[in-house]
Amino acid sequence: SVSAGVVGLPNVGKSTIFNALTEAGADSANYPFCTIDPNVGIVPVPDPRLDIINAHITTQEVIPTVVEIVDIAGLVKGASEGEGLGNKFLANIREVDAILHVVRCFEDSDVTHVEGGVDPARDVDIINTELILADMQTVDKRLEKAKRAAKSQDKEEIARVKVLEKVIETLNEGLPARSLELNDNERRLVHDCHLLTMKPVLYVANVDENDLEGQSEHVQTLRNLAEGEKSGVVVLCGSIESELAELEDAEKREMLEGLGIDEPALNVLVRAAYKLLGLQSFFTAGEKEVRAWTIPVGATAPQAAGVIHTDFEKRFIRAEVYTVDALEEHGDEAGIRSAGKLRLEGKDYVVKDGDIMHIRHNA
């Protein structure tokens, strides 16, 4: 399964945020693949569309889908030089599919900053530099091998040398590999390098309690920097999120009201991480449960059926599909059907984010 890793310098609030994320704790009974690794969190994906469906379809249980978030302990300067722990951090980052980069934007004299004062640009640079240096080593090695292989006029290897040289050039400029625009074939040619700086990144600005909208200069700096590399920024306050995560519904609503916000910023973070991973949801809705399921963008109806049960993929017949909008407009499935808004889709149908589906199969 795919996962996003939380990275950042020590003392920027990674554990606080990771713990708040896992506090809600997905009910493991529904997710048999749940690992017991304490560094891996199975986090429910808050989806307002589930509430809309639930408002129209009476059901026993509403089950959100989940996303896997990995806590990757503090990366420090020199990691790419292969000093013991440094290597391990990089190996852990290599295993995730996207990076949530937590950056300290809060001032608090009680919390020491490993590099001195609060300085988002410097912090981001320290981490990105380590990742770039590690990638340079990877690409150098791969390039050498590809060059040798290219001598025998192997077309594939000749093409690979070209792409790798472009990547090295980018890294040498101090830029992440993801900033290089590559076509699908070029992407395929460098895929086996599993480059750290090729992974999509979302910056998480951990702000002061009194700066929930991220108006401070620190956050502005981070936004500019993220924009330069076409990455996103989510603003949240770790200490507030960890308080919210511990509250029961009624108290939580009260605290949110007091803060003047609709939902915890963590919800926004989880949805953004889900999207960053290229994931989307479809729903099943019935008396027993209303449930969100995860599929990659581009998945077909049989592949979606396979997420529910492997047998459903092979024995897929067709899907009856409707949208959340249609449900809101026509009230229930009977209404949708008589309005002619219930679509029958076959094996080649590419599922859209938010589709509500009944899978017909002969399993």
Annotated binding site for ATP: 11-16
Q: Which of 85, 91, 111, 339 binds ligand GDP (CB under 6 A)?
A: 111
The answer to the question of residue 16 lying near ligand GDP (CB under 6 A) is yes
The answer to the question of residue 106 lying near ligand GDP (CB under 6 A) is yes
Sketch the per residue contact string, 167 through 186, with ligand GDP: x for CB under 6 A, - otherwise: --------------------
Nearest Cα to Cα of residue 205 among 182, 177, 234: 234
In angstroms, what CA-CA distances link 6 with 9, 101, 296? 10, 6, 21
Window 199 to 218, contacts with ligand GDP (CB under 6 A): 206
DSSP string of 283-351?
Answer: EEE-SSEEEEEEEETT-BHHHHHHHH-HHHHHTEEEEEEE-HHHHHHHSSHHHHHHTT--EEE-TTPBP
First to last CA, the chain: 25
SS3 for 235-280, per residue? EECHHHHHHHHHCCHHHHHHHHHHHCCCCCHHHHHHHHHHHHCCEE
The answer to the question of residue 39 lying near ligand GDP (CB under 6 A) is no
Q: Which of 14, 199, 218, 318 binds ligand GDP (CB under 6 A)?
A: 14
SS3 at position 211: coil
CA–CA separation, 182 and 185 (whole Å): 8
The answer to the question of residue 264 lying near ligand GDP (CB under 6 A) is no
- Nearest approach, Cβ of 227 to ligand GDP (angstroms)? 23
Residue nearest to ligand GDP (CB): 238
The answer to the question of residue 22 lying near ligand GDP (CB under 6 A) is no
- Nearest approach, Cβ of 213 to ligand GDP (angstroms)? 14
The answer to the question of residue 85 lying near ligand GDP (CB under 6 A) is no
Q: How far is CA 69 from the centre of its chain?
A: 8
Binding residues for ligand GDP, total number by CB under 6 A: 16
- Nearest approach, Cβ of 209 to ligand GDP (angstroms)? 6
- Nearest approach, Cβ of 110 to ligand GDP (angstroms)? 7
Residues that bind ligand GDP (CB under 6 A): 8, 10-16, 74, 106, 108, 111, 206, 237-239
